[in-house]
Structure 1
Amino acid sequence: MPFHVRDAEADSLVRELARKRGVGLTEAVKLAVRAELTRDDGADFLAKVREIQQAIAARGRSGLKADKAFFDDLSGQGDD
C-alpha cells in the first residue's frame, strides 16, 4: 500500500540515499528501514548479552582455581 512523504528533509534524505546507492526511491526507503530494523535487532541482542554478563559478574568469583590438566584432557590436549 503506497504512502506519501510530505516532509522536505525526509524527501531529501531518501533522494540522497537513492542517488548514492544507484537505486530508485522505493528501494532507498526499503534499504534505510531494513538497516534500522537490523540495527534495532542488534541492539536488543547486545542488551541481552549485557544482562547476562551483569548477572554472571554479580555472582562473584568462587575462589576456586581451574584445573588446567582436566580441561586439557577434555579438549584432547592432555598427555597420553
Structure 2
Amino acid sequence: MPLYIRDERARKLARNLAAKRKVTMTDAVIMALEAELRRTNEEEPLARRIARIADDLAHHAGANRQKMSKADIDAMWDDS
C-alpha cells in the first residue's frame, strides 16, 4: 500500500529523509516516528530532574552549611 502524505511540508521532509537515508518514504516516516517515540520515552520527568538537581546542590553545600539571614543574602547583592 503506497504512502500518501497530504501535507506538502511533511511530504518534503519525508522525501528529504528518505533520500539521505536511501530508504523509501514509508521507511523514512517509520524511522522518524520510532526515533521521536524513543526520545519521548527517554525524557526525564521535570519533577525528577528538579529533585536530582536539588540533591546535587545539597551534596555540594556540605553538612556544615550555615544558614543565611535575609540581611546576609541582601548583602551579597549590594552593588555599593
TM, length-normalised to structure 1: 0.57
Q: What is the aligned-residue identity percentage?
A: 36
User: Could you say which residue in structure 2 is the equivalent of 1:15?
Assistant: 15
Structure 2: unaligned runs, 5 residues or longer = 65-80
Task: Give 3-state SS (helix, strand or coil) of 1:36's partner.
Answer: helix
Q: Distance in 1 between matches of 2:47 and 2:22?
A: 36
1:36 aligns with 2:48: no
Highest RCO, 1 vs 2 (Cα 8 Å, sep ≥ 6): 2
Structure 1: unaligned runs, 5 residues or longer = 64-80
Q: Distance in 2 between matches of 1:58 and 1:40?
A: 29
CA contact (8 A) 2:3 2:26 kept: no
RMSD: 3.0
